[in-house]
Structure formats: C-alpha cells, structure tokens
Amino acid sequence: MFNIVGDIPLKEESIIAISNNCKKLKRLEIAGCIIVPSVVNKLEDSTIIAVANNCKYLKSLDIRGCMAITETALVALTNLENLEKLDVSFLDIITDSFIIKLKRLKELHCGECKELTIIRVIKNIPDLELLDVY
C-alpha cells in the first residue's frame, strides 16, 4: 500500500517508479495529486495510465481532486480488473459511462461528481456495497 497525501514533495517520476516496480500493488492513494516542483503542477494522464498498465493487482485507488487528468486516463483505469474501491471525488469528468465499466467495484466515493446518475450506477454495479455521493 502507498498512501501519498498532504504537502509531501513528490515527483511524478516517483509515482511512475512505484507503478513500474510494485507490480503486486493493491492499494494506491494519491489524493490531491500535487507534485513538485511547483504547487500548480498536477498529476497527469501519463502517470495514471502507467499505474493502470503496470499495477494489475490494484484493488483500491484514491485519485480524488486530481483535476488535471482527462478521460484518457479514466479509460485506462477501466482495465483494472481487480479494482474494488475507487475514490474520484471532486472530478468533474466522471460520467455514468466510465463508472459502469467498473463492474467489480464494491466501494465508490464520488462526491461532487455532477455528471453521475446514481440510479444507473446502482443498477449496473451489482456488487456495490458502499456509495458515497456527499
């Protein structure tokens, strides 16, 4: 498990190194995604794609507030067959079509995801145990 939160100086290369070298990683929390050298530099698609491609055993992913990622990174996440817990809170790009591709989810945190239809999510993800939409 890697949990990266707060004002810890972190380079994007570090997250890519984690994804390249921790093939059996099951939980990754990178909420906020602020990385050095500057406060405005945000985690990009390439890093999320590297995680999705290299961490096939990933069960839990927290990318809440990672505002710089796009739909391209989300498409890569749909290939994570073991993903059970996902936090995408505060991401405006989250849609029904993305979430319903994650059939094995048991826990979804999607606060402030304004394009999400809760009924559709519930109907299409049969194993969902926790839905957080605050």
Quick one: tokens of 51?
């995680």
For the chain, 134 residues long, give each residue's pLDDT as a single digit of tens: 444 444 455 566 777 777 777 778 787 776 655 444 433 446 778 888 988 998 888 899 988 888 888 999 999 999 999 999 999 999 989 999 999 899 899 999 999 888 888 899 999 999 999 999 87
> CATH number for the domain including 56?
3.80.10.10
Angstrom distance (rounded) from CA 31 to CA 63 = 5
Angstrom distance (rounded) from CA 97 to CA 120 = 9
What contacts 96, CB < 8 A, 6 or more positions away?
115, 116, 117, 120, 121
Task: Provide the residue range defining the domain that includes 8.
Answer: 2-132
What contacts 7, CB < 8 A, 6 or more positions away?
34
> Structure pTM?
0.74
| Whether the Cβ atoms of residue 45 and residue 60 lie closer than 8 Å to each other | no
| Whether the Cβ atoms of residue 62 and residue 35 lie closer than 8 Å to each other | no
DSSP label at residue 114: T
Domain count, the chain: 1
